[in-house]
Amino acid sequence: MRGYITEFIGTFFLVFTVGTTVLAGVALAPLAIGAVLMVMVYAGGHISGGHYNPAVTLAVLLRGRITLADAVPYWIVQLTAGFVAAVLAAFVAGPTRAEALSPSGRDLAAAIVAEALFTFALAYVVLNVATSRDHPGNGFYGLAIGFTVAAGAFAVGGVSGGVFNPAVALGAATMGLLAWPMMWIWPAAELLGGALAAGLFLALNPGDRAPVPVTYDHAA
């Protein structure tokens, strides 16, 4: 239960920060989003692993560090937190005045590729800095994870919205930032990116294929 509550809190503040900064048109929104993810990973990583993202949870599941019995409640909690955070963000920052993102044709293909690539990067970083045998007890995991999201949001935010997280996608659709009929495309691309990251991690780290004991606080 401690892990589920921690996942709710971390995902909530991530999506709430996404919502309030984007709805308010904050120029440095990607930096704020990366920062809040970083601090929430540091705050809750020792309890839940600090996933705050269904795609990351999928990658950690496929990597073998959690079971499906834990992954399913994580997904439920993360999506619930994303929805609640979106409702409160819209109340605090006001409804969006922009048209919901609804790309088509080449723009849609570019958005799918961008979301898959940077979600892959995020999950790959998480697996390597927070679950690898080669990084026991490191102190940089939160910074690495947060800056991956910030870099992605700066790089492709104008292409795909810089979502990289199905819980954020649900929140964005709830706030009117993503068109509901197309909302499923973002989680599909993101989950694909997370799964590919897990596969590559295991290919590059064959000694990590079997579940390993958690011997340091921040293990995902």
pLDDT for position 214: 39
User: What's the pLDDT at 25?
Assistant: 87
Tell me: the pLDDT tens digits for 120-167? 999 999 999 888 777 666 777 889 999 999 999 999 998 999 999 999
Averaged pLDDT, 208-217: 48
3-state secondary structure (DSSP) of residue 52: coil
User: Rounded distance, CA 45 to CA 72, Å?
Assistant: 18
Neighbour tally for 92: CB within 10 Å: 12
In 10 A of CB 208, how many CB atoms? Answer: 19
- The percent of residues in the chain predicted with pLDDT above 90, rounded, is 65
Contact, 130 vs 141, CB < 8 A? yes
Query: Of 19-23, 28-32, 127-131, which gets the smallest average pLDDT?
Result: 127-131
Q: What percent of the chain has pLDDT over 70?
A: 93
Give the pLDDT confidence score for residue 216 in this predicted structure. 29
- Structure confidence at residue 210 as a pLDDT band (50, 70, 90): low
According to the model, what pLDDT value does residue 220 have?
A: 45
**Residue in the block written with tokens 């993102």:** 101
d(CA 125, CA 119): 10
pTM of the predicted model as reported, rounded to 2 decimal places: 0.90
pLDDT of residue 136: 67
- Of 161, 191, 165, the closest CA to residue 52 belongs to 165
Category of 95 on φ-ψ map: left (φ > 0), alpha (ψ -120 to 50) or beta: beta
Q: How confident is the model at residue 211 (pLDDT cuts 50, 70, 90)?
A: low
Can you give the pLDDT at residue 132? 79
| Alpha-carbon 171 to chain mean position | 12
Name the residue with higher pLDDT: 195 or 140. 195
- pLDDT for the residue numbered 212: 45
pLDDT band at 48 (very low <50, low <70, confident <90, very high): confident
